[in-house]
Amino acid sequence: MQTLANPARFLKIARPLTPVLGWGGALLIVGALAVGLFVAPRDYLQGESVRIIYVHVPAAWLGMGGWTGLAIASFMQLVWRHPLAAIAARAIAVPGAVFAALCLVTGSLWGKPTWGTYWQWDARLTSMLILLFLYIAYIALDDAERERGGEGRIAAIFGLVGAINIPIIHYSVEYWNTLHQGQSISFLRASSTVDASMLWPLLVSAAGFSLLFGAIVLMRMRAALARQKVEARLRRYS
C-alpha cells in the first residue's frame, strides 16, 4: 500500500491500467447485457421484467461498494495521512452517487410491473435512498471544506460515519418486513437461489460494471493529480 503512496508510482501503474479496465469492462457489459436481453430466460413469476436484474443489481453493488471504498480511503486518509487516499475518496464519490441513483431508478422501474408501484417507503428502498443522500452530502461537504483551504478531514470523518448505512442496507431485507425480495446471492456462503442461466450473465455484468467503475475512479484520480500539479506550478511561477 505504501508503494502506491507515491503519486508518480501510482500514475505509472494507473496510466496503462485505465484503458485495460475501461475497455475490458465495456466489452463485458455489452456481452452480458446482450445475453440478459435476448438469451437469458424469462422468470416463471416475474416474466420479462426480470431482465432489469442485469443492470439493477450491479448498480446496487457498486453504489454500496463505492461507499465501502470511500470509507476505507477516508480511514487511510485520517490514520496514515496517505497522500492519495483523500484523492481516491473524492474520486469514488461521484461514480458511487451515479450508481446509487441508477439502482434506485432501475429498481423503481422494476417495481412497477412486479409490485404495482414505483416506490414504497420500506427498509431496503429507504436505506438505499439515504445512501444517495449521503453521497450528495459528502460531495457538498468535501467541496465546501476544500474551498476554505481544508484537507477534507471533516468529509473523511463523514465518509467513515456514513459507512454504518452499508450493513443497514445489506441486512434490511432480513431484519424488517420489506417489499424487496430477500438476499438471492451470498458470496460468503458461496450460494445462490438464482438459476445458473440467469446467474452467469448477472455476474459477468457485475464484473464489467466493476471494471468500468475502477477505470472511472482512476480517470478522476489522474485528473485530480494533474490539477494539483498545474496549481503547484502556477503558484511557483507567480
Find cell 475490458 and name the residue: 24
Please identify which residue in 76, 89, 98, 166 interacts with another protein, judged by CB under 8 A.
98
Contact residue for another protein among 4, 109, 194, 207 (CB under 8 A): 109
Is the Cβ–Cβ distance between 55 and 106 less than 8 Å? Answer: yes
105 binds another protein (CB under 8 A): yes
- On the CB side of 71, how many CA atoms lie within 13 Å of its CA? 16
Which amino acid, residue 107? G
Please identify which residue in the block is written with the cell numbers 468500468. Answer: 212
132 binds another protein (CB under 8 A): no
Residue 135 binds another protein, judged by CB under 8 A: no
Tell me if 59 contacts another protein by CB under 8 A. Answer: yes
By beta-carbon proximity to another protein, the closer residue of 80 and 133 is 133
Per CB under 8 A, which region of 75-83, 96-104, 169-177, 186-194 contacts another protein? 96-104
Rounded distance between C-alpha atoms, residue 108 and residue 209, angstroms: 20
Ranges of H-type helices in the chain: 7-38, 53-79, 85-115, 123-147, 153-162, 165-175, 196-237
The 178-207 site mask, x for binding another protein (CB under 8 A), equals ------------------------------
Our measurement of the distance from residue 117's CA atom to the centroid of its chain's CA atoms, rounded to an integer in Å, reads 26
CB nearer to another protein: pick between 60 and 71:
60
CA distances from 173 to 53, 65, 111 (A): 17, 18, 16
Q: Which residues bind another protein (CB under 8 A)?
A: 22, 29, 33, 37, 47-49, 51-52, 55-56, 59, 94-95, 98-99, 101-102, 105-106, 109-110, 112-113, 209, 212, 215-216, 219-220, 222-224, 226-227, 229-230, 233-234
